[in-house]
Amino acid sequence: MEYEEGKEKLIQAWGTLGASWGLNRTMAQIHALLMISPESLSAEEIMKELNISRGNANMNIRALIDWGIVYKEHKPGERKEYFKSEKDVWELAKQVAQERRKRELDPIIKMLNQVENIRDDSGQVENIKEFKKITKDLKKFADKSNGMLDKFIRADEHWFFGTLLKSFK
């Protein structure tokens, strides 16, 4: 396989993956492009490489910076902004985990807390019983997951994959 073909494949696949991870296709493609690029790239270069418009490039680069997986860079004597990606896959994973926790897990936990004290006087005894049981279970699970994610985000790769992984039997 030639470089160009491989590059194309990676960018496409990463785009698809991104879509199921809360980023959108273009966002993930820009990220893939920056990941495999040895030098940081300007908005102009990204637009050209991926055939996307200026606005699209700008918005998605900002979103990536927001997620904390792409950084702005200023080259000395240059007016333009350049962008580079976090290249450490472990850091990347932690960053994504953190962001998803904020966007997904936190709201669910908040909702479960709100919902836990429903009044049980509307005569729907069985429904309410089941509702309480399920929300309690979900809350327990969500809290545990939250705790684990917290540790994961603080963990370092060596310990995680070295020590922890081996403890799975």
Partner DNA sequence: TTAAACTTTCAAACATTATTGAAAGATAAA
Partner DNA sequence: TTTATCTTTCAATAATGTTTGAAAGTTTAA
Helix axes 106-115, 125-154, angle to 10 degrees: 150
Encoded tokens for 164:
């922890």
CA distances from 97 to 6, 9, 92, 159 (A): 27, 25, 9, 17
Shortest distance, position 14 Cβ to DNA, whole Å: 13
Q: Which stretch binds DNA (CB under 7 A): 50-58, 92-100, 119-127, 131-139?
A: 50-58
Among 93, 97, 99, 146, the residue binding a second copy under the rule CB under 8 A is 93
Distance CA 165, CA 84 (A): 31
* Nearest CB to DNA, comparing residues 53 and 167: 53
Distance CA 98, CA 100 (A): 5
Coil, strand or helix at 73: strand
Residues that bind DNA (CB under 7 A): 19, 24-26, 42-44, 51-56, 58-62, 78-81
Residues that bind a second copy (CB under 8 A): 1-7, 9-10, 13, 16-17, 20-22, 35-38, 87, 89-90, 93, 100, 103-104, 107-108, 111, 114-115, 117-120, 122, 124, 126-131, 134-135, 137-138, 140-141, 144, 147-148, 151-152, 155, 161, 163-165, 167-169
